[in-house]
Amino acid sequence: MTAYIIRRLLLLPVTVIGVTLLIFLFLQFMSPVERSALYIRDIPKNEAQVERVIRRYGLDKPVYTQYWNWLVGTVDQDTGEREGGVIFGDLGFSRTGRQDVVDLILHRLPATLELALWAFIPIIFIGIWLGVKAATNHNKPIDQGARIFAIVGYSFPTFVFGLLVLMLFYAKTGWFPPGRLSDWATIVVNSPDFTRYTQINTIDSLLNLRLDVFLDALRHLVLPVITLCYIQWALLLKVTRSSMLEAQRQDYVRTARSKGLSEKVVVNKHVRKNALIPVATIGGFTVVGLLNGVVITETVFNYPGIGSAVAAAAVSLDVLTVLGFVLFNATLLIVANLTVDIMYGFLDPRVRLG
């Protein structure tokens, strides 16, 4: 198992370099003047200032030199300080966020992380449970109902479902408002008496013993969490059910049943573990999607996470911000892919021995 993990880790830097190279090639569609915005934090006063930036960072030099400078930055000849460099966290300046792209990501990440934390557990456990129930009751009413549930959810556009629940549970009843906090709760969390430990409202409110703020934050999370869960439940149910039905037809399952093992033991010990291999892939990338910010869901519910920031940048043609988020997204995908590969090794010995 150790050798298997080491092989996967050795592929990690190669994959990261490939991703950064691909993103850099996208930047080459921009002129040197446009790419100079990576290093200018305010509106340039004249063309001479832009030209100095182009010469200083080598934006008019060969592509391989530009790539190296973009990756590791350049050294100021006067001060000796390194400036720029993606590997040092300089992803450029966000025009829409009015701050560095890294700072924008860090500012929006706690909101997206909070949404992901509340959505992930019900997505994974309920989705898998529904799939297992449907497969173990094949062609029974439970299975038929689960299949209808999956078909409707899988074909439902996210923004339509989001607008539907927003209309039912906010426009008509006012129970679950959009946004992240009510105005009064925002004043409380921004006051000097409220300590921000994690920037996650539900956690910080409990640590500050403010149950009213916790309940308000929870009210704002209900509808986006339901929207994310319903769409993902349909997908996980469909994948888990298909995988379970395929595993139940294997010879080792028939052998286990012929030995007189109870159906519960057969399902839990022999069928479910082997059926979870494709489910692990879906689960891993579901987490990545949640951490990257679900653009449509955050936009529909006016939720100030990473997804809504990307949407605002895209609408404003803020290319550097979008590419910065693409690099952030790609990094998470690489880590998720590595994690799923390691999970494969634990779930199926044939993978790590191959």
Distances from the Cα of 202 to the Cα of 68, 78, 113, 123, 300, angstroms: 42, 48, 11, 19, 21
Reduced 3-state DSSP string for 267-328: HHHHHHHHHHHHHHHHHHHHHHHHHCCCHHHHHHCCCCCHHHHHHHHHHCCCHHHHHHHHHH
Q: Do 72 and 187 lie in a common domain?
A: no
Q: Which run of H or E residues covers position 115?
A: helix 101-136
Q: Which of 94, 128, 158 is the last residue of a domain?
A: 94
Cα-Cα end-to-end distance for the chain: 11
Q: How many domains does the chain have?
A: 2
* 8 Å CB contact between 241 and 129: no
3-class DSSP state for residue 336? Answer: helix
In the listed set 46, 63, 94, which residue is the last one of a domain according to the structure? 94
Distance (Å, rounded) from C-alpha 137 to C-alpha 151?
Answer: 18
CATH of the domain at 150: 1.10.3720.10
137 with 276, same domain: the answer is yes
Asked if 24 and 126 sit in the same domain, the reply is no
Q: Are residues 329 and 233 in the same domain?
A: yes
Whether 78 and 105 share a structural domain: no
- Considering the domain architecture, whether residues 166 and 276 belong to the same structural domain is answered as yes
Residue-range definition of the domain harbouring residue 166: 99-353
Verify that 117 and 226 share a domain, yes or no: yes
The pTM for the full model equals 0.81
**Residues facing 94 on adjacent strands:** 99
Claim to verify: residue 144 and residue 282 sit in the same structural domain = yes
Are residues 223 and 349 part of one domain?
yes
Same domain as 49, residue 10: yes
Residues 6+ apart with CB under 8 A from 37: 92, 93, 95, 320
Detail the DSSP E strand segments found in the chain: 74-75, 82-83, 93-94, 99-100
* Pair 149, 188 in one domain: yes
C-alpha pair distances (Å), 208 with each of 137, 185, 192, 211: 47, 13, 12, 9
Do both 138 and 64 map to the same domain?
A: no
Per-residue pLDDT of the chain (354 residues; tens, 9 = 90+): 677 677 777 777 788 888 888 888 887 877 777 777 666 665 555 677 777 777 777 777 888 888 888 888 776 666 656 666 788 777 777 888 888 888 898 899 899 999 988 988 888 888 888 888 888 888 888 888 888 888 887 777 888 888 889 998 988 888 899 989 999 999 999 999 999 999 999 999 999 999 999 999 999 999 999 988 888 888 888 888 888 888 777 777 777 778 777 777 777 777 777 777 777 777 777 777 777 668 888 888 989 988 888 888 888 878 888 888 888 888 888 887 777 777 766 666 655 545
